[in-house]
Amino acid sequence: MATAAKSERIELRVTTRQKDTFARAAEARGSTMTDFINDAAAIAAEEALANRTAFAVPSGKWAAFVAALDRPAAPKKRLAKLLKKKSILD
């Protein structure tokens, strides 16, 4: 799989202790510190975004969750009235 050319730069300030930790961890993985931090940040970003789009439902509550999803929507009179009004953008 081809990788995209890296054209962007990010700079960050860290403590001496953090820098030393990153350097030791990168060395332990046989990686450069830049690649180590880049990989770790990419994984953390993907996890943070996944946590916003995926969620777990306990098995005991799954049936109630599915039933709520399958239930027909109840009419909302106030919403229907609002949607019939002319928008300020019209």
Backbone dihedral angles phi then psi of residue 6, each to the nearest 5 degrees: -90, 120
Return the pLDDT at 1: 54
Average pLDDT over every residue of 51-73: 89
Name the residue type at position 71.
R
Return the pLDDT at 68: 93
Average pLDDT over every residue of 42-71: 89
Domain ranges of the chain: 16-73
Check pLDDT > 90 for residue 2: no
Name the residue type at position 13.
R
Q: 26 and 33 in contact (C-beta within 8 Å)?
A: yes
Check pLDDT > 60 for residue 15: yes
Report the share of the chain in percent with pLDDT over 70. Answer: 98
Average pLDDT over every residue of 19-40: 97
Higher-pLDDT residue of 43 and 4 is 43
